[in-house]
Structure 1
Amino acid sequence: MASAAAPILGVLGSCMGCMVFVENIAKQEPAAMNLMTFSTFLFISSIGLVFTSKFFTVKNQIPLEGYFKTVSMFFIVNVVNNQALNFHVPVPLHIIFRSGSLLATLILSVVIVGKSYSARKYISVFAITVGIVICTLATSSQGDSGLSMEEASKHYKEWSIGIAMLTFALLASAYLAICQQQMYEKYGKHPDEAMFITHFVSLPFFLVMGGDIVSASTKLSASAPYALIPGVPSLWVDLFASCVLQYGCIKYVYQLNSRVDSLTVTLVVTLRKFLSLIVSIVYFKNPFTAQHWVGALLVFAGTLAFADIWGGQPAKKQEEKKKQ
């Protein structure tokens, strides 16, 4: 377990740090979400181009056509998830919603792959679903104070769009996981190559957002200068930091997957999300009621129950048999 200490700390530190900078950007310039997504893809692609692909001199282990579905879904999931922050979806709810990935995974695994699960897993997912619904309803009743009826109506409509986007992204993310699993089963696991290709091949898709990205760049350039680096806009510093930390987050998750079992990965990722939630509430002073806490605890407890942490071992494979 000692060898896993570094990736565990790396996941907690880099992923949580990334969320802090992302939330800061989202609060100050919510229209910059496409720019943020593009910057992250460009940053990770650049590193992969130099160190993984070595400027395309290293032959791919997985043919490009094998990446088609994965790249498409990866791009959609990232863009939609980040863009939801532009529709009045608070980061705490965003974190809780994305923690419900097991719900979407179970649904699509049953429908598409034909798997079946134990009653305990269905109960766990039901708890996650109830938790997400509770948090969503609690959030829907906030944010309208001080607004005129017309403004409140507009706010609610935009918020509803954000929730719809998160719901879609949740299902798309689960389908992405299935696509990745099928790709790895066919071609083998090549995480560094996959990380590079999925980001690099997605870059041309951002051309359709060119105007929005340029506009957001102008707004970031007009932000107040960073205290420690005179003359450099603070939001550009935040954006760069989020890119670096996002890269670290992904790398450490890959490392963790290669060194520990899936149960430990689930525990670490769940802990990271919970701590990110606490940081968002405390540092950014996001409203979080008792109703939110009940929902959040249901989501996180359901996630841990699904992973069978109280059983002390990973779930048995026979719990996920294909239907006859």
Structure 2
Amino acid sequence: MARPGPRAGHLFHKYDVKYVVSEAMASAAAPILGVLGSCMGCMVFVENIAKQEPAAMNLMTFSTFLFISSIGLVFTSKFFTVKNQIPLEGYFKTVSMFFIVNVVNNQALNFHVPVPLHIIFRSGSLLATLILSVVIVGKSYSARKYISVFAITVGIVICTLATSSQGDSGLSMEEASKHYKEWSIGIAMLTFALLASAYLAICQQQMYEKYGKHPDEAMFITHFVSLPFFLVMGGDIVSASTKLSASAPYALIPGVPSLWVDLFASCVLQYGCIKYVYQLNSRVDSLTVTLVVTLRKFLSLIVSIVYFKNPFTAQHWVGALLVFAGTLAFADIWGGQPAKKQEEKKKQ
């Protein structure tokens, strides 16, 4: 005679973890694909603007904040008729760090930092997030994860050194010295933004833990409240607007300056990019968010090399391989860690 009780219990024990994992993967799949697609597309337009008019970075940052704030005002806040789920004081750290990270990262392109280096250097956010998570949050990670981020760091250093050796060729000694000083400032800005970005991810996670997860509201507030800060950049923004208006007309839209089209496209895609990052951040921890963003940056690097024909030497490929391999090792794509974590979470 059959024994349905134990068999049923056995089947549930065998497949419940797989069900939980598949549900979690399905929940995160859309934001992950959205991050990869929209963020990579945005970088194409950003690089095109940076190559033609590098002084327009503050204008680009302001335009993105204004565009996202306008959409949030209509659809999320409904012209401030919807009550905030998170009080404004709860956003203070997140808004401050978000504004600083965006402005500093974009301004680094004004200091002779090429976009490929900009992309791969910022991929070190995985290391920065891990370190700050240990120091500030008190998290602990396996030795494998530390080895993985060490490989990523070595890869970034190799790419940085390989790129810096190309920057001052053909310049006089005086020009090369000035170029190197400005490039060093750009690298310092990226280093600062790297740590600030990691701290931002932790601030967002702590905010969600305290007030609950409201990604659409957080996306609107962090951009809208930051708008007054751009007043200090008013002169630079107006000057850049004049330069964009003087750009060649867009082929498909006669009479419309091409760089304004690029700027609008970058705003739309950046909206999608940030929206999906916020959604992802509300469903997984900050380290996983940084992992997905790191993968996106690596793919953007490949697009930058192929589409914009940026120089990429054997040293660059070695560094890029270390970054990519380190990221995959960190994700443990060959192991069963995700399922194990879900099972342990279910038992708690």
Same fold (TM over 0.5): yes
Question: Which region of structure 1 is more displaced relative to structure 2, 174-183 or 310-319?
Answer: 310-319
The one-character-per-residue Cα deviations of 1:174-220 (angstroms, maximum 9, x if unpaired) are 11111111111100000000000000000001111111111111111
1:76 aligns with 2:78: no
The one-character-per-residue Cα deviations of 1:202-256 (angstroms, maximum 9, x if unpaired) are 0001111111111111111111111111111110110000000111122234455
- CA distance in 2 between partners of 1:117 and 1:172 (Å): 21
Q: Aligned pair in 2 of structure 1 residues 11, 321: CA closer, same or farther (>3 Å)?
A: closer
Q: Aligned pair in 2 of structure 1 residues 167, 267: CA closer, same or farther (>3 Å)?
A: closer
**Matching residue within 275, 288, 296 for 2:320:** 296
Q: Is the 8 A contact 2:205 2:281 kept in 1?
A: no
- Structure 2 spans left out of the alignment, 5+ residues: 1-24
Question: Which region of structure 1 is more displaced relative to structure 2, 47-56 or 314-323?
Answer: 314-323
**How much has 1:173 moved relative to structure 2?**
0.5
Which of 1 and 2 has greater Rg?
2
Corresponding position of 1:86: 110
Question: Which region of structure 1 is more displaced relative to structure 2, 253-262 or 274-283?
Answer: 253-262
- Count how many residue pairs are aligned between Structure 1 and Structure 2: 324
CA RMSD of aligned residues (A): 3.3
**How much has 1:317 moved relative to structure 2?**
6.3
SS of the residue aligned with 1:81? helix
Q: Aligned pair in 2 of structure 1 residues 319, 210: CA closer, same or farther (>3 Å)?
A: farther
Q: Is the 8 A contact 1:281 1:287 kept in 2?
A: yes
- CA distance in 1 between partners of 2:150 and 2:347 (Å): 21
Q: Aligned pair in 2 of structure 1 residues 220, 52: CA closer, same or farther (>3 Å)?
A: same
- Structure 1 spans left out of the alignment, 5+ residues: none
**Matching residue within 100, 125, 143 for 1:119:** 143
The one-character-per-residue Cα deviations of 1:97-136 (angstroms, maximum 9, x if unpaired) are 1111111112212222222221111111211111111111
Map 1:280-319 to 2 at 5 A: 280-314=304-338
Question: Which region of structure 1 is more displaced relative to structure 2, 82-91 or 313-322?
Answer: 313-322
Question: Which region of structure 1 is more displaced relative to structure 2, 16-25 or 105-114?
Answer: 105-114
1:29 aligns with 2:53: yes
Q: Is the 8 A contact 1:34 1:213 kept in 2?
A: yes
The one-character-per-residue Cα deviations of 1:155-190 (angstroms, maximum 9, x if unpaired) are 111111111111000000111111111111100000
Question: Which region of structure 1 is more displaced relative to structure 2, 201-210 or 109-118?
Answer: 109-118
Q: Is the 8 A contact 2:205 2:285 kept in 1?
A: no
**How much has 1:269 moved relative to structure 2?**
4.0
- CA distance in 2 between partners of 1:290 and 1:308 (Å): 27
Q: Aligned pair in 2 of structure 1 residues 182, 12: CA closer, same or farther (>3 Å)?
A: closer
What TM-score results when the alignment is normalised by the length of structure 2?
0.86
